[in-house]
């Protein structure tokens, strides 16, 4: 996975990337599909924070130029910024309905991850116990397509 260096937040980001990668592996091995998908959403958010906060606009990797992490920055904002920066545009996700731009389907990870909030899950009638391996595999493929774009652009 990614190894971020030369930044104030780099060590923290590396630790989070490692944690969520390992957590995803553990949950998938345990066949805990909802929690494995949650870990993918958290990993996606960590990558995007790393790109926009740690690496953006700093060609020399100067730790003094690291941006502060805003309190109100959320995954939706990061995905919108990734779309504007064309980080996800070239990637394609294929399913039974055809090809989709990754930037159009990656929000599925965000929407799933929002179900960790009881109010969201209750409003939507979401039951994590009914989240299936098939549901997880779709999100895993979306994540893989997004990851392919990250590798192309900044790893």
Give the residue extent of every domain in the chain.
10-154
Biggest distance spanned by C-alpha atoms of the chain: 48
The answer on pLDDT for 6 being more than 80 is: no
From CA 7, how far away is CA 125, in angstroms rounded?
42
Distance CA 41, CA 81 (A): 16
Determine the Cα angle at 115 with ends 93 and 78, to 5°.
55
On the 0-12 / 13-18 / 19+ scale of CB atoms within 10 A, 92 is middle
- The pLDDT, as a whole number, for residue 86 is 78
* 25-34, 50-59, 84-93, 136-145: the lowest-pLDDT one: 50-59
Query: For the whole prediction, is pTM greater than 0.75?
Result: yes
5 in helix, strand or coil? coil
Residue range 8-23: mean pLDDT, rounded? 84
- Cα–Cα distance for residue pair 130/37, rounded to 1 Å: 13
Q: With CA atoms as reference, report the closest residue to 141 among 108, 119, 115.
A: 108
- pLDDT bin (cut points 50, 70, 90) of residue 67 is low
Q: Residue 145: which H helix or E strand, with range?
A: helix 133-154
Q: Which residues on neighbouring strands pair with residue 98, listed in sequence order?
A: 95
Strand partners, 101: 92
């Amino acid at each position: 996975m990614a190894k971020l260096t030369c930044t104030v937040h780099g060590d923290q980001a590396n630790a989070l990337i490692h944690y969520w990668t390992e957590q995803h592996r553990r949950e998938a091995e345990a066949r805990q599909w909802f929690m494995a998908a949650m870990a993918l959403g958290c990993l996606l958010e960590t990558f995007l924070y790393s790109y926009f906060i740690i690496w953006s606009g700093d060609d020399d990797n100067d730790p003094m130029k690291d941006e502060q992490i805003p309190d109100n920055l959320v995954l939706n904002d990061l995905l919108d910024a990734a779309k504007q920066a064309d980080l996800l545009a070239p990637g394609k996700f294929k399913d039974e309905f055809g090809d989709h731009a990754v930037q159009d389907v990656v929000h599925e990870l965000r929407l799933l991850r929002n179900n960790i909030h009881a109010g969201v899950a209750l409003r939507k009638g979401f039951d994590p116990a009914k989240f299936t391996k098939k549901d997880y595999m779709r999100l895993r493929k979306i994540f893989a397509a997004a990851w392919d774009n990250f590798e192309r652009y900044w790893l």
